Structure 1
Amino acid sequence: MKKYCMIILCCLMLFLTPVHARMKKDLIYITSKDLPYIYLIEKANSNHLNVFILPSNLYLNTFLKQSDVASARKLIEETFHLSTSKYVSIDMNAIDQDFHIKKKDYNLSTMDGITAYFMDAKKEITISDILNYQRYIDSDLSFSDDYEFYKMFSHKVTIDYIYLPYMQVDGISIPLTLDI
């Protein structure tokens, strides 16, 4: 009887352990050299996104260089022990030129300013702009990823914005925690 109880207890422990472990999901890394933040997007489920917001002037043993997406992405992955499966880099200068929107007219240091900027850009978009999206966005998202997000945003989506706590010292953001 003791033997059966021990086997049942071991099986129970094997089944309970994955329930309590938090599975890290792959994130999408979104950046632009003109934006003050880096966004890490996690798809929690079919109608919910978590958006982790990191300042672009974050100091992690070295400075993040927004112009070098690959090294900044690797540094964030190593520091926060994350996996970013995809990336999106936005060229806001091309958006300014083609959509006749000036980023200097918007306060891009706030979410309201960023949202207003992209809402105004959305008003100017044409079919030819959509077909030539490579001019505005450098990305490794596949067509199936695009379609998945299209399906998601065709319904009501809830988004949680999560800021990394940091301290501002002489224009440098120093993280207060490394937990995302």
Structure 2
Amino acid sequence: MMRIKKSLLLLLLLFTFLLPLQAKQENKSIFIASKQLPFVLHVQTKNDKQMEIRFIPTDMLLPIRCQNEPSTLKQLNLLEDIACARNSVEAFFSLPTCDNTLYLHLDRLAKDLKVPYQNVDFYNLKDITSYFSKLLKKMNIKFLLKYNSYVDSDLSLSDYYHYYKLFKRKKIKLTYFYVNQIQLDDLTLPMEAAFQPLKHK
């Protein structure tokens, strides 16, 4: 877990090329999901100065609200059921409701940038770091102009530049949170309905 900061930072850098935020709203939150990633993200931006990123594993057993029974997020169609996934996470962990949702088509992104992901171990932080570094190096203005081919979101394109400036030019404090979990047979279970801050050296 100690190396997760670099991996998360690279992942968030990727999203700066994809995510516009409302420029006039200082406090924003977004729920991010992708079929190809082993986690979903609950991200909160506060006063353009702080960002809190919570990681929720998609293989963790949770009460799924649209199914009325425990299941895992990866059993959902995260593209079609992203609202259900978000509501389930927010209800179980008592998180504030996100303003927006975004689904990342990592498979399309990887194909167009010619950075295959099939052999990447997304449970391995070193692999995550390496993979997203390669993606970032391939991005250019042509890619940015067709970013909506890679995401499904209710965000507005007009505020993309604001978020880009926020992350690239301003000093923003990033705080990461994870869920303590246990393995029971083939199940991943949360030890509590709470997040722990990730401590860095």
Would you say the 8 A contact 2:32–2:42 is kept in 1?
yes
> 1:13: which partner in 2?
none
- One of 71, 78, 82 as aligned partner of 1:69: 82
CA distance in 2, matches of 1:85, 1:73: 11
Indicate yes or no: 2:84 matched with 1:88: no
Runs of 4+ in 1 over 6 A off after TM superposition: none
Would you say the 8 A contact 1:164–1:175 is kept in 2?
yes
Shift of residue 100, structure 1, vs aligned partner: 0.9
Residues 114, 145 of structure 1: alpha-carbon distance in 2 compared, 3 angstrom cutoff: farther
Shift of residue 131, structure 1, vs aligned partner: 1.0
- Superposition map of 1:19-98 within 5 A: 27-61=29-63, 62-63=70-71, 64=73, 65=76, 67=78, 68-82=81-95, 83-98=97-112
Shift of residue 151, structure 1, vs aligned partner: 2.4
Residues 36, 143 of structure 1: alpha-carbon distance in 2 compared, 3 angstrom cutoff: same
Shift of residue 33, structure 1, vs aligned partner: 0.8
CA distance in 1, matches of 2:147, 2:187: 33
RMSD: 2.1
CA distance in 2, matches of 1:33, 1:133: 18
Shift of residue 171, structure 1, vs aligned partner: 3.5
CA distance in 2, matches of 1:66, 1:57: 13
- Superposition map of 1:1-180 within 5 A: 27-61=29-63, 62-63=70-71, 64=73, 65=76, 67=78, 68-82=81-95, 83-143=97-157, 145-153=159-167, 154-180=169-195
After superposition, give the CA deviation of every residue in 1:73-99 in whole Å (9 maximum; x if it has no partner): 121122223211111111111012111
CA distance in 1, matches of 2:124, 2:156: 30
Describe the SS at the equivalent of 1:78: helix
CA distance in 2, matches of 1:156, 1:125: 23
Would you say the 8 A contact 1:166–1:174 is kept in 2?
yes
After superposition, give the CA deviation of every residue in 1:114-152 in whole Å (9 maximum; x if it has no partner): 232222112112322211111111111224653332221
Residues 126, 144 of structure 1: alpha-carbon distance in 2 compared, 3 angstrom cutoff: closer
Return 5+ residue gaps in structure 1 as ranges: 1-24
Return the structure number with greater helix share.
1
Would you say the 8 A contact 1:29–1:38 is kept in 2?
yes
Describe the SS at the equivalent of 1:159: strand
Moved more, 32-41 or 170-179: 170-179
Indicate the structure (1 or 2) with the bigger Cα radius of gyration. 1
CA distance in 1, matches of 2:106, 2:165: 26
Moved more, 85-94 or 42-51: 42-51
* TM-score (structure 2 length as normaliser): 0.69
Would you say the 8 A contact 1:106–1:116 is kept in 2?
no
Corresponding pairs, count = 156
